[in-house]
Amino acid sequence: MDLEKPKENNIAFIDSQNLHFGTIKCDMCAILLAKNIRDMELADCSCGQAWEVDLAKFYIYLKENYQVNNA
């Protein structure tokens, strides 16, 4: 008897504000520039640790690696 395992319905909740803040802000460059981390922009980072998330690619990653149906 071949029983098929039911498909799981995986949903990912992404806190986009924290994702955005956590990737475009660089604390090392904020210290070097004597700026408040909240005032930092992506362009202010000179060390390369700040980056911008491509949400379309991130969704594909979640879908392929974690079988997420909704994000």
Q: What is the pLDDT of residues 48-69, one digit of tens each?
A: 999 999 999 999 999 999 888 8
pTM of the predicted structure, to 2 decimals: 0.67
Using CA atoms, how far apart are residues 27 and 34, in angstroms rounded to an integer? 10
Report yes or no on 5 lying in a domain.
Answer: no
CA nearest to 26, candidates 6, 7, 46, 8: 46
Using CA atoms, how far apart are residues 24 and 51, in angstroms rounded to an integer? 5
Report yes or no on 1 lying in a domain.
Answer: no
For 50, the domain range is: 10-70
Residue-level pLDDT at 12: 86
Report yes or no on 37 lying in a domain.
Answer: yes
Q: What is the pLDDT of residues 3-28, one digit of tens each?
A: 676 677 888 888 989 998 899 999 99
Average pLDDT, the chain: 88
Report yes or no on 14 lying in a domain.
Answer: yes
* pLDDT (mean) for 40-51: 93
